[in-house]
Chains A and B, each alone.
Chain A
């Protein structure tokens, strides 16, 4: 047990998903494994991307997609549950600043994302030769991507009054953004119009930069990806902090 508002809230948020690990870690790892088995079976032998066999190319995409989706799920579902059941008062009554609140929820999301990501990597890397060409990028993009989706989860969890509003946020924003981001393909294989569209999707840069860490090659320069992802993180951090500071939907 650690102490202080921030560290206790972080501990509580991590304990919360860890206690139901089969749902919060086991299930997404299994889902990613199924994607891998199906897509690699269908596509293997047909394509090589950046000179890498398709299954190897797919693995980092699945890992990063899992990091992002689970980071979002962690903060958003925790907040909506606390709001709907009313136990959010337990974190509103103590002397916890909005900064600590933000840091704890986002960091717990990052932890959940990384745990699931590591699980997916462990479950899938047997299926294809995988390299770790520039591991620094792997870590940087995993952390930043997790933090971005964790922040988005805080916003969604605070904004939504009901579970179905949160589900709408997830189904109509998070899922399309993560699926249409080059998880399953290189965007260079897309028609020019869709290539253009993909370049406006920040998740594309998260996945592309993350993948660069494995193979040392990518659709975009990792530095460009870093700039885009860093800007997104900065903007979302400011946005979320302002939302929390205003007390929106938390302190009437």
Chain B
């Protein structure tokens, strides 16, 4: 069975900016995949190349086994893209926009599905409102709805939650999760790393047009991040521990690998005559992984 998305040796230059530099990436069917990277890393360009909005200089891309150039009709029919920019057509109402988008994809009478999308995205009451009248958050919902009208098996969302309120984020992720459970492949870019950590089973990190990390979220957390003991003490920390750890705002942070290391650590602090006022266990998080990957640092060097 062909992969949901296959990207092979894809490069793209804009003038003398190398936006994509030999990207190789494969997303399997049913995955919830995260595409992370700082601004300008090439995420949007990669998505645009996949959607046929940008033509790659080299390499090939396919959606569900359909090449995005030579078999563009099938490729686009299998792909739903939520663009990063908040765009809309001011001439139409929400329902008109969705019906028109359905028509572009040869969907026939699609009103039942359109109603379901509207309901799930909390847009039902705005169905007959003109696009111009909607708030930014509502416009964002319509963009998501437009990407879904043709029931694409592969859904790509380019920073769908940028500048969006908590309620929409929750509505959106609830719905996208359900689509994923129903078998849709999801690719997501976001700057909210917590979001990516919770949602994505696998993650690629892009930097300057290259893939600099690619693994399951669990493996990335394991490889690049560690647990740490975070504590506030009354007294002087043992010197050898201050070398291992870092201090930030009155809190010491001491990295450890396994939970069986916790007791000896505490014992050493106690033995040094230090009283512990406050204590918590810091879990590995994707933000730390991200920072390390972007700085090209191995684990354990930075907190």
A positions within 8 Å CB-CB of B = 1-5, 7-9, 11-12, 15-16, 19-20, 82, 85-87, 89-97, 247, 251-252
Contacts and interface: CB of A to CB of B under 8 A. Distances in A.
B72 interface: yes
B260 interface: no
Contacts of B92: 15
Given A16-B91, A87-B87, A92 B52 contact: yes
Contacts of A7: 103
A3 B96 CA distance: 13
Contact of A252 (B14, B96, B99, B101): B14
Contacts, number: 86
A3 B89 contact: no
Nearest to B12: A252
Contacts of A12: 100, 103
Interface stretch (B23-31, B105-113, B234-242): B105-113
- Most chain B beta-carbon neighbours within 10 Å: one of A85, A87, A92, A97: A87
Contact of A96 (B54, B79, B89, B104): B104
Contacts of B103: 1-5, 7-8, 11-12
Contacts of B55: 247, 251-252
Nearest to B71: A95
Interface of B: 14, 48, 51-55, 72-74, 76-77, 79, 81, 83, 85, 87-92, 96-97, 99-108, 146, 150
Nearest to A91: B104
B209 to A, nearest CB: 15
Contacts of A85: 87-90
A95 B105 contact: yes
5 contacts: A3-B107, A7-B103, A12-B103, A87-B87, A95-B74
Nearest to B51: A93
Given A86-B85, A95-B77, A19 B99 contact: no
Contacts of A86: 83, 85, 87
B65 to A, nearest CB: 16
B54 A93 contact: no
A96 B53 CA distance: 13
A5 B89 contact: no
- Most chain A beta-carbon neighbours within 10 Å: one of B51, B105, B146: B105
Contacts of B97: 90
Contacts of B99: 1
A15 B87 contact: no
